[in-house]
Chain A
C-alpha cells in the first residue's frame, strides 16, 4: 500500500501519548510504537521517499537503501526489546526521552542530506542527555552536563563542516567523501561523527556518562548513539585509512581499561569503545568484505551489548550497586540474570554458535585479506581482552568469587527477564543462522564463518585466554578505584576556560563598566535631557499600556526560570520542536 512510513513518526507520536495518557497506560505505548517501526522497516521499499521544503531547502528525510535498512532493522528490534525492559519504569519522562532519542536515531538513518541529519543528530544528543539526568542523583546530573557539553562540541564540528561544505559545493546532499581528495570540511564532519562514534581520544564522554545513566536509559544509549555514528561514517567516510588505524587502537584501548575497571557498567562502556573500534576499522579498510563486516558487527553488537547492559542493569537494579568490589556470590539469588548475561558475553567474545562469531571474524579476516595484517593482529589481541574482561572477569566477580554478601535484593520485574530472553535468543539465532544477517548486508557475502579452521582458531584463542585468567585471577581482582582517562584533559580545558572567565573577562567587564559609567552615561544624560521633553509630551500615554503588559509577561517568565540548565534545555528543545512542527504544517 504505502511504500514508506517514517519510523520517527511512531516514536514522536508515542512520546506525546506517553505524556498525555495516565502513567500505567502510557508505558505500553512505546513498545507498540517500536513494533510498528519493525513492521514499517520490514515493508518499506528502497528509494528516495519523503522530501520536505524547509527554510527554502529541499530536505530528504526518507532515503532507503540497503545500508540504511540494515541499521533501521536492528534499531527497530532493539527498540522493542529496550521498551519491554523498561516497561516497569514509573517515570514517564524517561519513556518520553527514550522515544525522542530513538526518533532521532531513525531520522539520522534515513536522512539524505546534512541538514536533516544535523537536526536529528542534535535531537539524539539532547534527549539522551535526559536519559542520564533522569536517574536524578548528583553524580548523573554532573555526568549529564559533561556529556551534553561534549556532544555540543561534536555537533558544532559537524555544523561547521556541513556549512563549509555547502559553501564549497553548493549542496547539503549527504554522499560519500573521496578519501583521495580530503577537504577541511570533510575533516570537520568526520570529527563530528567521530565524537559520537567514541573514537579515541574523543571517547571519554562514553565511559563517563553511560554508567551514570538510568538502568534502562543505558540499554537504549548503548544501542543508538555510537551505532548511528558508525552508520554515517560508513556512508560518508569508507576507505579513509586513518579510520582503520584509529579503529584498531580503539579495540585495544577499550579492553585495556575494561581490564582494570571496577564498575560493571563502566566495563561494558569501555567495551563499546572497543567493539565500535572493529566497525570503525572495517570502515577504514573499506573493502566490500570489511564494510559488510562493519555492518554485520554493528547489527550483532547492538543486540548483545543491549543484553549485557540489561544484565548489568539487573545487578544494579537488584543489588543497588554495579561495583564488582561490592558484588560477588550472587549466582544463587540471580541465576537468570547470569544466564542471559553469559549468552551476551559469549556472543561478544565471538564463541562459535553465537552472534559475535559470525560478525567479528568477518571484519578480522577481511582486514587480513586486504593485507592489513597488523590491524588484524591488533583486533585479535582485543578479542582476547574482550573475553578476559567481559566474558570472565565481570561475571566471575559479580556472581561468584566469594560467598553471598547477603545484601537485600530488590525483586526484579518479570518484563526485564522477558526482554533479556528476547535479546539472548536473537544472539543465539544469528549465531546459528548467519544467513539471516548476511542477506541484509549491502554487499553479497562470500565469507563462510563455520569452517573447521575458524571454529578451532576461536576455541584455541578463547580457551587459552581462560587459562590466562585462571593464572591471573588473584591479580585481576577489581579495586574500588577511579582510573584516569582523557576526560582528565577535557576537564583541564574547562578549568582553563573558567580561569580565563574569572581573571581576564571579569577584569575586562569591570573596566568596561567603569568606562561606561564615566563616559557613556554623561553623554547619554545629555541626550536624554533633550528627549525627555518629547517623551513626557507624547509617548507616555501610548507606552504605559504596553509597559504593564510587558511586566505581566516578565512575571510569567520568572516563574519559568528555575535556574536549572536541564529545565532551560528541555524548554529550548520543546520550543524548537514546536517551531519545526509549525513550519512543517504551514509549509
Chain B
C-alpha cells in the first residue's frame, strides 16, 4: 500500500555534485521512512475513509502539488498571463 517506489528512482535533471547528491538521497530515504511510519501510526479519528489508507496524505501532497503547478501555469500561459505593462498600454 505504500508509495515509495514512485520516487526512489527519479529522473535526474542535472547531474548534481557529491554533497548535493548525498543530500538528495537522504531526502528520498526520509520520505520513504515517513510512509513506512504511516503504516505503524494510523489516523486516530478519520474524517473520511480514504484517510485510513497508509500514505494517503503523502499521495495527496504530491498530487495536489503537481496538479496545482500544472493548472496554474497552464492558466498563466493561456489566458491569465499578460505583458508587464499591459494596463499602461491599455490606458
Q: Hey, which bits of chain A sit against chain B, CB under 8 A?
A: 255-257, 259-260, 368-369, 373, 376, 380-381, 384-385, 388, 451-453, 456-457, 459-476, 479-484, 491
Q: B81 near A482 (CB under 8 angstroms)?
A: yes
CB distance from A490 to the nearest CB of B (A): 11
Q: B38 near A481 (CB under 8 angstroms)?
A: no
CB distance from B33 to the nearest CB of A (A): 10
A260 to B34, CA, bound (A): 29
Classify the secondary structure of A's interface with B: helix
CB distance from B3 to the nearest CB of A (A): 9
What is the chain A residue whose CB lies nearest that of B79?
A484
Q: A482 near B61 (CB under 8 angstroms)?
A: no
Q: B62 near A468 (CB under 8 angstroms)?
A: yes
The number of A-B residue pairs with CB atoms under 8 Å apart is 131
User: Residue B26 at the A interface, CB < 8 A?
Assistant: no
Known: A464-B58, A467-B31, A474-B13. 16 other contacts (CB 8 A): A259-B69, A259-B73, A260-B72, A384-B65, A385-B68, A388-B68, A452-B41, A456-B38, A463-B61, A465-B64, A467-B7, A467-B62, A467-B65, A468-B65, A476-B69, A483-B80
Q: Hey, which bits of chain B sit against chain A, CB under 8 A?
A: 7, 10, 13, 27, 30-31, 34-35, 37-38, 41-44, 47-48, 55, 57-66, 68-73, 75-76, 79-87
A468 to B69, CA, bound (A): 9
Return the contact of A482 from the options B31, B41, B69, B84 (Cβ within 8 A).
B84
CB distance from A488 to the nearest CB of B (A): 9
Contacts of A483 in B (CB 8 A): 76, 80-82
A554 to B34, CA, bound (A): 77
Q: B82 near A385 (CB under 8 angstroms)?
A: no
CB distance from A471 to the nearest CB of B (A): 6
Q: A464 near B59 (CB under 8 angstroms)?
A: yes
Q: B72 near A462 (CB under 8 angstroms)?
A: no
Return the contact of B70 from the options A369, A461, A475, A482 (Cβ within 8 A).
A475
Beyond A376-B47, A482-B83, A483-B82, whether A460 also contacts B66 by CB under 8 A is no
What is the chain A residue whose CB lies nearest that of B84?
A482
What is the chain B residue whose CB lies nearest that of A483?
B80
15 chain-A/chain-B pairs, Cβ below 8 angstroms: A260-B72, A381-B68, A385-B68, A453-B41, A456-B38, A461-B60, A464-B59, A464-B60, A464-B62, A465-B61, A465-B62, A466-B27, A483-B80, A484-B82, A484-B86
A369 to B62, CA, bound (A): 25
Contacts of B85 in A (CB 8 A): 482
Return the contact of B64 from the options A381, A457, A480 (Cβ within 8 A).
A381
* Nearest 8 Cβ contacts at the A-B interface: A468-B65, A464-B61, A259-B72, A260-B76, A481-B81, A464-B62, A384-B64, A368-B47
What is the chain B residue whose CB lies nearest that of A257?
B72
A84 to B59, CA, bound (A): 43
Contacts of B47 in A (CB 8 A): 368-369, 373, 376
Q: B65 near A481 (CB under 8 angstroms)?
A: no
